[in-house]
Amino acid sequence: MLSVMARKTANDDPLAPVTLAVGQEDLLLDRAVREVVAAAKAADADTDVRDLTPDQLQPGTLAELTSPSLFAERKVVVVRNAQDLSADTVKDVKAYLGSPAEEITLVLLHAGGAKGKGLLDAARKAGAREVACPKMTKPADRLAFVRGEFRSSGRSATPEACQTLCDAIGSDLRELASAVSQLVADVEGTIDEAVVRRYYTGRAEASSFTVADRAVEGRTAEALEALRWSLATGVAPVMITSALAQGVRAIGKLSSARGGRPADLARELGMPPWKIDRVRQQMRGWTPDGVAVALRAVAEADAGVKGGGDDPEYALEKAVVTIARAARSRGRG
């Protein structure tokens, strides 16, 4: 089933004469193809599927593939990287769009940029069913993707679980989808943050939360090592600044809260009880001034990774070092 991130046009029939999958997110492009093929094979188990690259679709090839068959067999013709088709082949495809053959579904995969825009416009004008498969560069998009994966599986996952999974896995959509599938298969009931952390503890060592944990614990070298590993494995810088902010704010919240049982504090501060215990351990070296310094460092880093600075990695390293020093401010006082 397609993710909610793969938006479709009103013509939502996968057996429409032409499907146009637009974007550069490989997982969503592959799913768009699989959906059409699955629908075709459900209609006719003997459906012939031809999956072609631009160099395989020469002038005249499309006409051969879509010519009437003696046995009137159903066929799916997939054209990948349609933006790279030669000018002569584009003419063939445009001509076909004007009079598509029965029992044949044409799937055009197009990157969506300026290259090959004429074919893109022609397919849209011809009324092709369109599936948007944009590259997910924003953390919010990946988070929405994970939520959609759980919903598509008919399962419930807490917002914290979805965020933790994104932080632990990184930016690879295939790995995120695979992780959701594993959790859905192995875990009964609602999937929460604790379950995700238990399953992906190895990945979490390279996650934004690990960077934040090591920083607020004053472990500078380990925090920097986790930061570099996170960036190398595709964790978005903005996710790391978010985790740093959460870590420092948790210290500030708990240090200003009245004493009490973890369950009572959890309700008061909006944190799970297990997190109360962990933050209590992390806050031992902190002072109110240290929290203020750390929050300023996070704000500067956030501006740096969102375009305010030339080097996001340096902005993050500077913030991590500042936070780790602030975590030891009581000891220095």
For residue range 126-178, list pLDDT tens digits in order.
999 999 999 888 888 999 999 999 999 999 999 999 988 887 777 778 889 98
Lowest-confidence segment of 2-16, 47-61, 151-165, 201-215 by average pLDDT: 2-16
Contacts of residue 69, defined as CB under 8 A and 6 or more positions apart, other chains included, come to 75
287 compared with 167, residue with greater pLDDT: 287
Whether pLDDT at 231 is above 70: yes
Whether pLDDT at 261 is above 70: no
Whether pLDDT at 252 is above 90: no
- Say what the pLDDT of residue 203 is: 56
Whether pLDDT at 31 is above 90: yes
4 compared with 217, residue with greater pLDDT: 217
pTM more than 0.75: no
For residue range 37-95, list pLDDT tens digits in order.
999 999 999 999 999 999 999 999 999 998 876 566 789 999 999 999 999 999 999 99
Residue among 308, 316, 138 at smallest CA distance from 236 = 138
Q: Please tell me the distance from the alpha carbon of residue 284 to that of residue 255, in angstroms, as a whole number.
A: 9
The tokens describing 168, both together, are: 């632990």
DSSP state of 205: T
- Say what the pLDDT of residue 149 is: 96
- Say what the pLDDT of residue 70 is: 58
Q: Specify whether the CB–CB gap between 187 and 222 falls below 8 A.
A: no
Continuous segment of H or E residues that includes residue 178: helix 173-186
